[in-house]
Amino acid sequence: MCTGYVSTLTADGTSGRIGRYSLSVLGFLKWSGLIALAAAAWQPASAETTLSLRAFAEAVLLADDTLAGRRLDIDIAGADLRGARGAFEPSAFINGRRDRSNVENTAQERLQRGLSNSFDSRVTDFKVGLASRTESGGDVEFAYRIDRYRNNLQPQSLYGREFRSVVGVSVTQPLLRGAGRTFNRAPINIAEYEERLAEEIFRLSVQQRLADAVGSYIQFQEATERVELLRSSLEVAEQLVRTAQRMAALGARPGSAVIEAVVFRDTRRLQLEQARQDMVEARASMRSLLLATEGRLRDGPVPAAVQIRNVPRIGDRALTVPDVESMRNTAFERRSESRIAALRVARDSIRISAAENQLLPQLDITARYDLDGLSDSAQSSVGRAARGPNRVWGVGIELRVPLQGNQRARADHDAARLRRDQSELALVAARQRIANEVESTREAAEGAVRQLESQRALVMSQRELLRSADVQAEGGRMSGVELQRRRLELLQAEEQLLSRKAAAYRARFAIAFTSGRLAEELERD
């Protein structure tokens, strides 16, 4: 299991830390505020088990291969980040070399080398040390080197016994191009933003999948309750037909009343058949989200059986519509689309800063300082290097300027600016789209609340009328046909109320999705 940190976006483009998360399947879902999953709590469902919305949403998330791919994107980005941080990893090195030369001396060299006609030399050297790159862009090397010399100029007493030890440090530091912590940490900062982008894209995919699950689940809830209401309505309609036929046979009702009752019954039967078909389609939509047939899922971390049969009724919970300003601000802060666009702007700003550094000429300074010791043994040469007066130091400077305007660096800089402009446009577009969604979702929710309240008042009135009709029928002041018509009118009103309740229920989750709070709303459901 890979672990990492949740980062916040700061004004200067650096990354802050606000907590630790786990990139396991369940841990990441819990961190992102989407849904607290517990696979161990799953039990095979029976036909009598009620499938809650939250349980269905969890099953949908666990069954989705697309989310598994998105999680791999996070792991890949994390690996890239670890690789970028390795740029400043120090390294130890060791190397050895042996040189052999046998060359003729020039006239001047013969004078310098004791009139010898040739120079026969064997040099063996070993070098060990530490090297590292600093965040300022400098290369630092600490090294110890020992050389052993053997040549034909050495007296017999020293032949093969000259050792030179050198202990020193060397630094190469850019002053313009490639200098500075901002430029040298740019790959790390970019990799951090890439990881956070992968997290937000995963979060966006989960939110969209949850929205699909909520929509299919509510559709199935509504279809199931509508079938029950239409079944009751059909039973009343059949009673109405029988009552009308009986009264027509007694001459108390005309034959047209029987025909009217039969037509109404047949209409309700057709409506019931359509409602049953809608329920089948809604169940199929839910199964498609689970990528399985009813009661049988593919292999994987998904429950072995999820029966899409019994679901709870649509609740009558009051819908609170937040004010547009707070809803818009919450959506800007929490919607993944806005956060993804903002992260891309910050990432591209870092790229521009790095590209601007490459427009500068290359000006490097080099410095070297060595302690030198020569002796007839390796150990004593080290001691002489540490104690003796022999010192070697040097300072140098190098300047390089492109002769044709630094074309590649300028092209990279222009491309980085264009990418940031593109990201800023995408951010503006995302915020505008979110603002429009907030407005339309809020208006739809307010309309759903008004219609629900009006329909609820109508149902209450219909129930009062039915109670009054029952009293009148018991007193013989109302016929059975009229009483059954009142019952049918109440059932029709309740069917409309079901539609209004489903619309308000959808509006509740639409507000949560638009505000980026869908998972929290599912937790409270």
Q: Which residues contact 281 (CB under 8 A, 6 or more apart)?
A: 223
Amino acid 49: pLDDT: 63
DSSP letters spanning 457-477: HHHHHHHHHHHHHHHHHHTTS
Q: What's the whole-model pTM score? A: 0.77
Q: Is the dihedral of CA 303, 304, 308, 311 positive or negative?
A: negative
Phi, psi of 381 (to 5 degrees): -70, -35
> Residue 9 forms beta bridges with which residues?
15
Which parts of the chain register pLDDT below 50?
A: 1-48, 292-305
Q: Which residue has the tokens 């052993």?
A: 148
Q: Please report the pLDDT score of residue 308 as a whole number.
A: 64
d(CA 307, CA 268): 29
pLDDT value at residue 525 = 65
Question: Could you give the CA distance from residue 301 to residue 291 in angstroms, rounded to a whole number?
Answer: 13
Residue 50: helix, strand or coil by DSSP?
strand
Contact 270, 9 (CB under 8 A): no
CA dihedral for 110, 115, 119, 125, sign (positive or negative):
negative
Question: What is the C-alpha separation between 455 and 449, in angstroms, rounded?
Answer: 10
The per-residue pLDDT for 7 is 31
Helices (H), 250-335: 255-290, 324-334
Tell me what pLDDT residue 307 has. 57
* Of 205, 507, 515, 208, residue with least CA distance to 334: 515
Question: Do β-strands 162-174 and 362-375 pair in parallel, antiparallel, or remain unpaired?
Answer: antiparallel
The predicted structure's pLDDT at residue 309 = 63
Q: Which secondary structure element, helix H or strand E, spans residue 414, and what is its range?
A: helix 407-474
pLDDT of residue 397: 95
Q: So what's the pLDDT on residue 523?
A: 81
**Residue 153 backbone dihedrals phi, psi, to 5 degrees:** -90, -15
Structural domains in the chain, sorted by start: 53-81+186-294+317-349+417-523 (1.20.1600.10), 95-133+138-175+363-400 (no CATH)
Between the two ends of the chain, the Cα-to-Cα distance in Å is 31
